[in-house]
Amino acid sequence: MEDKFSADNSFFHSDYSGKRILIIAPHPDDEINIAAMSIINFARMGAEIFVAYSTSGDYEVSAEERLGEATQALSLMGVDKNHIIVLGYPDTYQENCYFYSMEKAVPSPHGRTETYAPSGFVDYAKTYRGGHSLYARKYLREDLIHLLLEIKADIIFCVDLDCHLDHKALSIVFEEAMGAILREKGNTYQPEVYKKFAYTCAWHNAPDFYADNLLSVKKPQIGATPFYGRDIIGTSFYDWNQRVRFPVPMECRGAFLDNNPVFAGICAHRSQHPYMQAKCIINSDEVFFQRRTDSLSYQANVTASSGDASKVNDFQLLNLTDIHSMVPKWEDYLWLPDKKDKEKKLTFKWDEPQNVAQIRLWGNIDGGSIKEVEIGFDNGHIEKCGSLPHNGKPLDVSFPLQKNVKEIAIKIIKCKGDNCGFAEVEIFSDVLPEYTIRPFIKLTVNDDFVYVYKRRKNERIFNLGVYGFKFDSEVNVQILNGKARIEKGKLEILGDEDVVLQIQTSDGEIYDRVIFRVYDDDYFNELRTAQVIEQKYHGLFKQFEDYIEKSKIR
């Protein structure tokens, strides 16, 4: 542990040497939106970082330029060029997209029909097939499967169902690839998977970088967040309260963009004119939604009394057949028993006995609702549970550990309305398994991650909270310096010196330390003036580059 009067967190002192991390992004520059601060964090903690792009970003700008920018950006964040992987599929806005064709090649806007990479790179298919892949969905899935199994990353960060069609296509096909791997007989590869809304939780998030204190990623809102056509996070299993939040490096927490490594990476992508989006991207946390890959259901033989049983262990909680629509229509993701089916039963069988501690049932996001479910084990144990939550949110069914289980039957006893079924059934031997990313805790003020909090003289009362990653035990709270008291989740500062708070486990291995530092009005006025100057400088720089682009001056 460092000096007790400096901000610190045990998260930053973990050793990830020997661990591999893979970022899967649709375009060069989306590595910034998906996981810039996590790339910096884990690279410094010894992890080997790989970044794969499904497209070369060549719709408006050449692949050479886009990949050159990405190489520079990633170098600034600690990633070697030889760890950049180019899948080489088309960057496209056209109606006839490769996503809709399973095997037949669909030409890109530039007339290409197969994967390629610019000078200095080799498209991934060429490295393992010996030839290029056709622009069709099947081949992207095959390339992703091979890539995932070749790198075997311990941690995967991948784009989620953003508004951009290339983001949606990659998100969906990645889940198809991951599902195929998990269901392969005898598979033991179970990475940690974190998915990210690169637009709504980064590029188009609140432009609040220049607040008095760095704020956390804000929950996307219809009417406030650009291109957020349906409130996926507010009205689906994407529960904002269940998001995963990672702390950010010290160099990313300053009051200015200059000297911030994420901003340096953003600026490297010059062709995308991303300067002012930095105000949205850089926050006091980085937000993801985790997907577990350790479900026993993937290795089970699954049958159903009717309907397509393969839907409940394919790793897909949602699916789109139309990725062009800004308002998503969820299709082809459910096990739906026939209306005349009186059993409405799924059966999971294993060749070898399993220990089962929890079953997680994912229902339908639209339509009717399941009101009653019965779960029967081959040892005679029966669990009966009531309604599944609305909007596809999961129902966790926990029970005493059931040992040596070889068969489980799950029946829908009662439902209301149409379209009632399961999107996925996850069966776990551990409620909380071992994770590659170590547990950590983080103090919050008004739900914002806080490190060194700059407070005004009249600010004395703060609403405290504790965020725990894979950790929900009791922690000790200490006031290491300054006159203050904590009562019922509120911090009251009684003096004008620095107040240092620390929370930690009883053994001290997991801890977080923050500082509350007082400044007078002159400081904040001078700070705001300097920030305005910085914004104007970068705004003028952007205008100049726009002029160069329009004038075709190179």
Domain that holds residue 542: 522-554
Q: Are residues 55 and 144 in the same domain?
A: yes
Cα distance between the two ends of the chain: 51
What is the β-pairing status of strands 20-25 and 48-55?
parallel
Is residue 266 within 8 Å of 275, Cβ to Cβ? yes
How does the average pLDDT of the chain come out, rounded?
A: 94
- Residue pair 164/204 in contact by the 8 Å Cβ criterion: no
183 found inside a domain:
yes
Match 């007989």 to its residue by tokens.
185
Question: Cα separation of 25 and 462, whole Å?
Answer: 38
pTM: 0.95
Tell me what pLDDT residue 546 has.
57
Domain annotation covers residue 335: yes
Yes or no: say if 165 and 133 are a contact pair by the CB < 8 Å rule.
Answer: no
Q: What is the pLDDT of residues 504-530, one digit of tens each?
A: 998 899 999 999 999 999 999 999 999
Residue 5, in any domain of the structure: no
Residues of the chain with pLDDT under 70: 1-3, 94, 540-554
* CA–centroid distance for 131 within its chain: 32
pLDDT of residue 206: 95
Say what the pLDDT of residue 545 is.
Answer: 56
In a domain, residue 13? The reply is no
How many domains, in total, are found in the chain? 4
Residues 319 and 262 in one domain: no
Give the pLDDT of residue 547.
45
pLDDT at 371: 96
Question: 120 and 198: one domain?
Answer: yes
- State which of 291, 313, 337 marks the end of a domain: 291
Q: Is residue 4 in a domain?
A: no
Phi and psi, residue 394, nearest 5°: -80, 155
User: Do 500 and 546 have their domain in common?
Assistant: no
Tokens found for residue 11: 């998260």
Judged on CB neighbours under 10 Å (0-12, 13-18, 19+), 30 is: buried
Q: What are phi and psi of 507, to 5 degrees?
A: -90, -5
Is residue 304 domain-shared with residue 286, that is, in the same domain?
no
